[in-house]
Amino acid sequence: MTGTLVLVRHGQSDWNLKNLFTGWRDPDLTELGVQEANAGGKALADYGIKFDIAFTSVLTRAQKTCNIILDNVGQTGLETIKDQALNERDYGDLSGLNKDDARAKWGEEQVHIWRRSYDIPPPGGESLRDTGARVWPYYLTEILPRVLRGEKVLVAAHGNSLRSLVMVLDKLTKEQILGVNLATGVPMVYKLKADSTVASKEVLGDMSGAH
């Protein structure tokens, strides 16, 4: 049997709370975000997993979530690789703007298209397809080979970088992925087959908080 891949979206950040487009900007976790990361870590501790390596982005909110999870499973100091390939989608000109202000400036429909279409990016930013175009090669070259060797791998990253991975793992169409929101701090545990397809998927925790 091959190894295990665990994906976790970071806990709530300060800018999530303020309803701002975040992207590559670097706000910290809120108190609730820390609680969400701890809850995810406790769920993984109860699950009984021990990791061989962790991957995260170069952004504070993902790194802190990763550290909190590793602390909960008793693996503080585990080798952790940070790469901007796993960064959140870049929102370009929307970064730092309040979502309501953006709607007032460009219109509800246009902002909705930028946020939710698969391949139409906001000005100066990335679409979900663009995000996948950097996440997928990194996954194939750096993460997947370790899982196929039997390692247990943690990836603590962001809503859109992880959605682009979930799209491939769960074999979702570009229409289906648009309706998928990942809950903050909730681990998704994938066991992969030798051909890299999914043997099983478990979501640890309450999905009712998905947003």
User: CA angle, 187 as apex, 185 and 190 as ends, to 5°?
Assistant: 160
Report the predicted TM-score, pTM, of the whole model to 2 decimal places: 0.94
29 domain-assigned: yes
Q: What is the pLDDT of residues 105-136, one digit of tens each?
A: 999 999 999 988 899 999 999 999 999 999 99
Q: What is the pLDDT of residues 62-108, one digit of tens each?
A: 999 999 999 999 999 999 999 999 999 999 999 999 999 999 999 99
Q: What is the CATH number of the domain that holds 55?
A: 3.40.50.1240
User: What's the domain count of the chain?
Assistant: 1
If pLDDT is split at 50, 70 and 90, which confidence band does 207 have? Answer: low
Q: Give the span between the Cα atoms of 185 and 207, in whole angstroms.
A: 10
16 domain-assigned: yes
Number of C-beta neighbours around residue 196 at 10 A? 15
Q: What is the pLDDT of residues 186-196, one digit of tens each?
A: 999 999 999 99
Looking at residues 132-157, what average pLDDT do you find? 98
141 domain-assigned: yes
Output the average pLDDT for the chain. 95
Would you say 161 and 57 are in contact if contact means Cβ atoms under 8 Å apart? yes
Would you say 9 and 183 are in contact if contact means Cβ atoms under 8 Å apart? yes
| pLDDT > 70? residue 210 | no
74 domain-assigned: yes
Torsion of CA 42, 44, 45, 50, to 10 degrees: -150
Annotated active-site positions, please?
Answer: 10, 88
172 domain-assigned: yes
If pLDDT is split at 50, 70 and 90, which confidence band does 209 have? Answer: very low
Token couple for 21:
């487009």
Looking at residues 11-24, what average pLDDT do you find? 95
Residues of the domain holding 73: 4-91+129-209
Residue among 36, 16, 40, 19 at smallest CA distance from 27: 16
41 domain-assigned: yes
19 domain-assigned: yes
Q: Give the span between the Cα atoms of 64 and 205, in whole angstroms.
A: 20
28 domain-assigned: yes
